[in-house]
Amino acid sequence: MIPHGAKPGDILGVQMPFYMHKGILFPDRRVLHASKEKGRVVLDTVRDFSEGRRIRALGYPGRLTPSQVLSRGLELHGQRYRLIQSNCEHLVAHAHGLPKSSPQLNAWLVVGVVGVTAAAIIRRRLA
């Protein structure tokens, strides 16, 4: 179910096991998102987007009008999903006219680097 008060262009989020999946609400109550499962940017029903999970309204960043956000988002419709270059956060940032970034991916990369470094230090000490 779409959160009360959510409007076209708003970013919606669904908590997955290790990340928050994001998409953009459209006037017909569908959601544009970069689907890892479908391998591309799709315009899906709320049910398909949420996979039965609770949907959260995540706000409206940037200064573009809703029609500009929807138009910019549709520019990427059908684009191939790529975790590093074209994930759901990249999509919503582009649509809202913000720099292409993925804070969640960056955080996971930091965790990975710290984990690898810690493992290397422990191995040296045990050797």
**pLDDT digit string, tens, across residues 34-52:** 999 999 999 999 999 999 9
Exposure string over 82-92, b if 16+ CB within 10 A, otherwise e: eeeebbbbbbb
Domain assignment present for residue 118? The answer is: no
Domain assignment present for residue 111? The answer is: no
What's the whole-number mean pLDDT along residues 48-60?
Answer: 97
- Location of structure tokens 């609770």: 54
Q: What is the CATH number of the domain that holds 25?
A: 3.90.1720.10
Task: Tell me the pLDDT band of 119, cut-offs 50, 70 and 90.
Answer: confident
Q: How many domains does the chain have?
A: 1
Q: Are 87 and 121 in contact (CB under 8 A)?
A: no
Q: What is the pTM of this model?
A: 0.83
Q: What's the pLDDT tens digit per position in 5-38?
A: 999 999 999 999 999 999 999 999 999 999 999 9
Domain extent, residue 94, equals 11-100
Specify the pLDDT at position 120.
77
Domain assignment present for residue 75? The answer is: yes
